[in-house]
Every structure is written in C-alpha cells, then in structure tokens.
C-alpha cells in the first residue's frame, strides 16, 4: 500500500513536471514571437524614418534651387520700381489736388 501511494505520488510529480515543462516551452515560444515582432516593427519604423528624412532633404534642396533665372528676376524688379514711381507720382498729384481744394 505504501508502495502504491509512493508510485501514485511519483506519477503526479512526473505529470506536474511535464506540465511545467510544457508551460515553460510555450512561454519561451511566445517570448520569441514577441521579440521577432518587436524587431520587425523596429525595422518598419526605421524604414519610415528613412523615407521621412529623404523627403525632408528633398524639400530642403528645393528651398535652395533658384526658381527663376536672373533675367526674369531683373524684369520683375524693374516692374516693381516702375510701379513705385507711378504710385509716388499719383500721391504727388493727390497732394496737389487737395491743396487746390483747400
């Protein structure tokens, strides 16, 4: 009888050890999956950062590229200067008219 109890106790201990080993194996497998997923996610984030950095560099380069040539720029400045002179002459005429009215 003692022998039977001991064998049944040993059987339960073996089952418990086996169950613990199964649970540890499952935990290890899940942990490995978690690390693999985290590594894959880090890779995707780094790729997105690289794309964003490339776009930012392209935008910075666009800021430094002249959009018009010197001739167009000179004509635009000439037009603005001419408009300034026209405004000044119109202001002078308005002053003269106001003085005549007053």
pLDDT digits (tens, 9 = 90+) for 28-69: 989 999 999 999 999 999 999 999 999 998 888 877 766 777
Query: Which residue is associated with the tokens 């996610």?
Result: 41
Q: How far apart are CA 82 and CA 75, in angstroms?
A: 10
Total domains, the chain? 2
Residue 40 tokens read as: 């894959």
Q: What's the chain's average pLDDT?
A: 87
- pLDDT surpassing 60 at residue 3: no
* Percentage, residues of the chain above pLDDT 90: 61
Tokens of residue 19, six digits: 């169950």
Q: What are the backbone dihedrals phi and psi of residue 5, each rounded to the nearest 5 degrees, phi first?
A: -65, -40
pLDDT at 6 over 70: no
First to last CA, the chain: 133
Is this model's pTM higher than 0.75 or not? no
User: 100 lies in which domain range?
Assistant: 68-102
22 and 61, same domain (yes or no): yes
Question: Do 72 and 102 fall into the same domain?
Answer: yes
């Amino acid at each position: 009888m003692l022998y039977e109890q001991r064998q049944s106790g040993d059987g339960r201990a073996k089952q418990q050890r086996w169950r613990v080993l199964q649970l540890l194996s499952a935990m290890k497998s899940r942990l490995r999956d978690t690390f693999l997923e985290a590594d894959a996610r880090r890779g995707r984030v780094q790729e997105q950062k690289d794309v964003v950095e490339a776009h930012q560099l392209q935008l910075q380069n666009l800021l430094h590229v002249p959009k018009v040539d010197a001739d167009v720029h000179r004509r635009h400045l000439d037009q603005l200067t001419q408009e300034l002179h026209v405004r000044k002459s119109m202001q002078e005429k308005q002053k003269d008219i106001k003085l005549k009215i007053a």
